[in-house]
Structure 1
Amino acid sequence: MSRVHDIGGRFGDGPVLPEGQDAPVFAADWHARALAVTLACGSLGQWNIDTSRHARERLSPKDYTRFSYYEKWISALADLLVEKGVLTVADLTGVDAPEAKHPLADRCLRADQVQGVLASGGPADRTGGPASLFQPGQKVRTRHPGGNAMVAGGHTRLPAYATGAVGVIERLHGTHVLPDSAAHGLGEAPEPLYAVRFAASELWAQPEHPRDEVVLDLWQSYLSAEDT
């Protein structure tokens, strides 16, 4: 079954129209606050980036299709805060005022820490894990059907439009955390991550520009060797 958020490459949604260079970074002031509070809450250490992405994917189809970008962010954040026990629904609605210092208060991201935290990022490369099975120049086929092979309806970084497609390994990025596992608290399960090149004609039956190519970063468990 398809997932509501997995609409990349779908026919009929119209062209992607990038904003001009003079466009503001945030279209509204609250967009900046939504980004800031999401990053600050991530510093509490109660979830990882893949958990956060999956929270946005799990919004109801009705909400997902009508919410703007940052409405998705702030709504998914509210869900995570309650699910992880950081806050209650009453906390979010302001019904009950906190009577004591929150257990996670010491993890608060202070203003003077923001620049350093953002600069350091959250590296997902790891050592160990299974050996790489593919080499640059080798043909591979993506898993079909796609989706998360570990959790029904779970998070994955294999887009629906690329399932069952044949591509060519461009490079090995090293070993990285597997989102399909990390998003669901099943451990990092690191495995090799590859840049895979696909012809547009391999991904779509009637591509507008057949000679275009798309490069996707895909984990080893998404791939199998393609006989030539």
Structure 2
Amino acid sequence: MTRVHDMGGRFGDGPVRPEKEEAPVFAKDWQARALAVTLAAGALGQWNIDMSRHARERLSPQDYARFSYYEKWISALADLLVETGVLSLDELRGVDTTAEHPLAVRALQAGAVGKVLATGAPADRPSSVEVAFEVGQLVRTRRPAGNRLVGGGHTRLPKYAAGAQGRILRVHGSHVLPDSSAHGLGEAPEPLYAVAFRASQLWTHPESPQDEVILDLWQSYLEPA
């Protein structure tokens, strides 16, 4: 079953309407603050990017459908803060406390933001998993597109690409497997590939059948075609 966040290629959602180039980066001031506090909280080291993505995916379907982009971010952050014990529900609600938080020493300082963002958090890792596919090789994505380690868990294989045939465009090396990392099961690095799919492989009636969609997919998502 397609979950609410897996919207790619889904019928009934209407056309994608890009914002105008002159549109502001943040439509409202609170959106900039939502991004800032999410990045600052992530710097505390209590979760990783895959856990953060999965937290947004786990919002209730009703909330996910009605929330704006940054409302999803800030709501998922609130869940993470409580789930990981960084804050209690009372603290999240603004109950005053005079005790210094044990994670205060890890707070992201304003002067360090530029360096932290420029450095990023690389996900490439050494791996004992051998590369199984080479550039130009035809592969097929697994079906169904769910997480095979955790029922209903996080995965980076979109449902619209499940069972589709593509060709290996590039081998990126080994990277952290989100399906494992999002659930605290370890990084489990494995080879990551850029895979090109014809639009005709992904959709029944594509507007331009020869167009290609390129997805970065982990080795366990793929099998020889």
Asked if the contact 1:139/1:166 (under 8 Å) is kept, the reply is: yes
What amino acid maps onto 1:48 in structure 2?
Answer: N
Cα RMSD (Å): 0.8
Asked if the contact 1:8/1:161 (under 8 Å) is kept, the reply is: yes
1:129 Cα deviation after fit: 3.0
Asked if the contact 1:129/1:175 (under 8 Å) is kept, the reply is: no
Determine the structure 1 residue equivalent to 2:151. 152
Determine the structure 2 residue equivalent to 1:11. 11
After superposition, residues 100-179 of structure 1 pair within 5 angstroms as 100-179=99-178
Question: Are 1:182 and 2:181 counterparts?
Answer: yes
Task: Give, in whole Å, the separation in 1 of the partners of 2:136 and 2:100.
Answer: 57
What amino acid maps onto 1:126 in structure 2?
Answer: R
Task: Give, in whole Å, the separation in 1 of the partners of 2:64 and 2:22.
Answer: 28
1:128 Cα deviation after fit: 2.1
Asked if the contact 1:148/1:180 (under 8 Å) is kept, the reply is: yes
Q: Mind listing any 5+ residue stretches in structure 1 that lack a counterpart?
A: none
Q: TM-score, normalised by structure 2?
A: 0.98
1:125 aligned counterpart, secondary structure: coil
Determine the structure 1 residue equivalent to 2:24. 24
Determine the structure 1 residue equivalent to 2:196. 197
Q: Mind listing any 5+ residue stretches in structure 2 that lack a counterpart?
A: none
1:2 Cα deviation after fit: 1.9
Determine the structure 2 residue equivalent to 1:91. 91
What amino acid maps onto 2:184 in structure 1?
Answer: G
Task: Give, in whole Å, the separation in 1 of the partners of 2:150 and 2:127.
Answer: 23
Which deviates more from structure 2 when the two are superposed, residues 189-198 or residues 18-27? 18-27
Task: Give, in whole Å, the separation in 1 of the partners of 2:25 and 2:98.
Answer: 38
Which deviates more from structure 2 when the two are superposed, residues 4-13 or residues 40-49? 4-13
Task: Give, in whole Å, the separation in 2 of the partners of 1:38 and 1:139.
Answer: 39
Misfit runs of 4+, over 2 Å: none
Asked if the contact 1:129/1:189 (under 8 Å) is kept, the reply is: no
Task: Give, in whole Å, the separation in 2 of the partners of 1:145 and 1:111.
Answer: 44
Which deviates more from structure 2 when the two are superposed, residues 96-105 or residues 62-71? 96-105
1:151 Cα deviation after fit: 0.3
Asked if the contact 1:139/1:167 (under 8 Å) is kept, the reply is: yes
1:4 aligned counterpart, secondary structure: coil
1:75-121 CA deviation, whole Å, 9 max, x = no partner? 00000000000001111111x31121100000000100000000000
1:73 Cα deviation after fit: 0.2
Determine the structure 1 residue equivalent to 2:68. 68
1:136 aligned counterpart, secondary structure: coil
